[in-house]
Structure 1
Amino acid sequence: MNDISKVPMKVLVQQDKVQRMLENTLKGKTRQFTTSLINVVNSNQSLADVDQMSVIKSAMVAASLDLPIDQNLGFMWLVPYKGMATPQIGYKGYIQLALRTGQYKKLNTIVVHEGEMKYWNPLTEDFEYDPKGKESDEVIGYLGYLRMINGFEKTVYWTKQNIEDHRMKFSKMSGKAKPSGVWASNYDAMALKTVMRNLLSKWGIMSIEMQQAVVQDEKAPETDVRDVTPTETNSIDSLLAPEPKGEPINDSNEATVPTNAE
């Protein structure tokens, strides 16, 4: 029995049942979503090698939160792990979701380098941060800050060791002593995400959308190939057959992915 999870993304997203599944969630945004999804998979071979339905369902987490899946933007990553794709929301994604509530006056998280943090009191949250005091590019920690429109404010500071302890304990996809995956390629971004997620979930106002994000973040999606079994006129065997020369899948409508990562 052939496995639809291995059908190329270009072909899989054209299936009637996949299209209906996408339309039920995305309504009029299906075409834009499938174009972005194909681009993401085409630009990352490791995503092309995992269960393709898990890629679609992970991307749909981003779509349900109205976050872009362009990996260069840093709002959402689709991370390969043990043959599946898993959604990982970036710190920019959490900031975006928080801003939509209209409850935050100020919200930010930054990288702290050696010499910049002069003083930090975890009880009173008094601190002295001086970016002009930077002594080297070595990262020693991460600061997060929020101020609500009602006047409530909160500052948190995580040392680099705090982040490492948290990563090794809670992030199953990051490796152990040595970071891997997104933690290896975007360590600071993932550390900032850890601080922002903790700050918002513990001290911020959690909208239904933000609660949904926290629950689904880094959670492997459930896939069921029976949901997308191809029709008789477009069988699995025909989908898995090599494309005939001179008749490539029409992808003339695919957009170019911008490269503007920060």
Structure 2
Amino acid sequence: MRLNKMSNKETAIAKKKETIKELLIRKQTDIKQLLPTHINIDRFIKSALLAVARNDKLQKCTKESVFTGVVNAAELGLDFTPAKGHAYLIPYGDQATFMPGYRGLIDLAKRSGTIAKIEAHIVHENDKFILEYGLEPKLIHKPIIKGDTGEIIGAYAIAWFKGEDPQYEFMTKKQLDGIRKRAKTDTIWKSDEGEMCRKTPVRRLFKYLPCSPDLEKALEYDNHIAGVIDAPEDNGLSRTENLANLIITNPTPTDVDAKTGEVIESPDTSKETEPMTNPKTSGMINSICSKEYALDPEQTLKLISAIIKHDITKMKQLTLKEVEWVTETLNHRETIDGFLAEINSQKQ
């Protein structure tokens, strides 16, 4: 008899436990207020519930974390419809986390009105692929439609601006794998490798594009789950502020050979101009170093010193040509890894 009473009590407690579906329906009015007018609340809730139903690991996550992820997506006007690929709920232990898909990021970018179109593609080893940098950059990709495509060797993204030339970003397979290894969870990489290969250069391309507040927020969500921005902030300042005192001079007594990286002494040092601060440039360099390489400001200055082959940790001065050299070098992961290894060896 006692066992029956305990069983009845457990049943009563179980009945009181609110399911994810019940929670979302109860909070439907609040969620609707966050959604843009073009998104139907019923379809949005249905897409979220379908995402949970299709993933056993999500069903084991706390309903509070699922709700938070749904709210994050609603704020950005992105739903979880699989065919759209705009948003995902990613399980991480017992916590569900919202992650925007690359098509969701593209949708947010196009809403700004300055970007006409963005495309992302995967390059296979048997494709015809030509990539050239310089004064006349070129990107030609003719994929294999039939037959063996071969292994993935990289991926790229292109953005077309209204009234301006397009801009593109290419990443090798090794660079893509590096991002994957730093991710907090590789669940989405296992289930949707193609999606993530396309998304990664799209995300990197956004460093050079105008970003709306919604897009910046989406990238922030994405960076956290991708493990891109895990380093703590310094002195309470944002990453783009930490190198705001980096000085840009033009010209200065030294120059840098773009091919060899060697420092070239200028024959005339009498025409040096007064140094001027350039927070935009220093912010861009620091942003790349923190996001792509998880470096703090001190480490960034050491890396820049290694790249331009003279110490700037005290004077914090760069010529405009050195800025160009640094920003170009930062795009080559293997080269930077070599510099970082050299810096770390000097500590030992």
Fold match by TM threshold 0.5: yes
Judging changes above 3 Å, is the alpha-carbon distance between structure 1 residues 122 and 104 closer, same or farther for their aligned structure 2 residues? same
| Residue correspondence of structure 1 range 37-186 to structure 2 within 5 A | 37-123=48-134, 125-131=137-143, 136-169=149-182, 171-174=183-186, 181-186=187-192
Judging changes above 3 Å, is the alpha-carbon distance between structure 1 residues 149 and 186 closer, same or farther for their aligned structure 2 residues? same
Higher RCO (C-alpha under 8 Å, 6+ residues apart): 1
Judging changes above 3 Å, is the alpha-carbon distance between structure 1 residues 127 and 27 closer, same or farther for their aligned structure 2 residues? closer
Q: What percent identity do the matched residue pairs reach?
A: 26
Out of 178, 196, 199, the residue aligned to residue 193 of structure 1 is: 199
8 Å contact from structure 1 (residues 86, 218) kept in 2: no
CA–CA distance in structure 2, aligned partners of residues 35 and 135 of structure 1: 39
CA–CA distance in structure 2, aligned partners of residues 219 and 143 of structure 1: 22
Superposition CA RMSD, Å: 2.7
CA–CA distance in structure 1, aligned partners of residues 179 and 125 of structure 2: 21
CA–CA distance in structure 2, aligned partners of residues 184 and 211 of structure 1: 26
CA–CA distance in structure 1, aligned partners of residues 66 and 115 of structure 2: 33
Q: 2:173 corresponds to which letter in structure 1?
A: K
Q: CA deviation at 1:76?
A: 0.8
8 Å contact from structure 2 (residues 127, 142) kept in 1: yes
- Structure 2 stretches of 5 or more lacking a match? 1-12, 226-348
Q: CA deviation at 1:41?
A: 1.9
CA–CA distance in structure 1, aligned partners of residues 61 and 21 of structure 2: 14
8 Å contact from structure 2 (residues 112, 212) kept in 1: yes
CA–CA distance in structure 1, aligned partners of residues 42 and 133 of structure 2: 49
Question: C-alpha deviations, 1:212-254, integer Å up to 9, x for none?
Answer: 111222647xxxxxxxxxxxxxxxxxxxxxxxxxxxxxxxxxx
Larger gyration radius, structure 1 or structure 2: 2
Q: 2:152 corresponds to which letter in structure 1?
A: V
CA–CA distance in structure 1, aligned partners of residues 140 and 83 of structure 2: 33
Task: Give the match for residue 22 of structure 1.
Answer: 31
Give secondary structure in 2 for the equivalent of 1:13. Answer: helix
Q: 1:89 corresponds to which letter in structure 2?
A: P
CA–CA distance in structure 1, aligned partners of residues 42 and 157 of structure 2: 37
Q: CA deviation at 1:106?
A: 3.3
CA–CA distance in structure 2, aligned partners of residues 146 and 27 of structure 1: 25
CA–CA distance in structure 2, aligned partners of residues 103 and 58 of structure 1: 28
8 Å contact from structure 2 (residues 36, 77) kept in 1: no
Give secondary structure in 2 for the equivalent of 1:172. Answer: coil
Question: C-alpha deviations, 1:85-123, integer Å up to 9, x for none?
Answer: 111111111111111112123321101111324432345
| Residue correspondence of structure 1 range 224-235 to structure 2 within 5 A | none
Q: CA deviation at 1:24?
A: 4.4
Q: CA deviation at 1:135?
A: 5.8
8 Å contact from structure 1 (residues 88, 218) kept in 2: no
Q: 2:170 corresponds to which letter in structure 1?
A: Y
TM-score (norm 1): 0.69
8 Å contact from structure 1 (residues 87, 218) kept in 2: no
Out of 33, 36, 40, the residue aligned to residue 47 of structure 2 is: 36
TM-score (norm 2): 0.53
- Structure 1 stretches of 5 or more lacking a match? 175-180, 221-262
Q: CA deviation at 1:129?
A: 2.6
8 Å contact from structure 2 (residues 48, 80) kept in 1: yes
Q: CA deviation at 1:80?
A: 0.4
Task: Give the match for residue 297 of structure 2.
Answer: none
CA–CA distance in structure 2, aligned partners of residues 159 and 27 of structure 1: 37
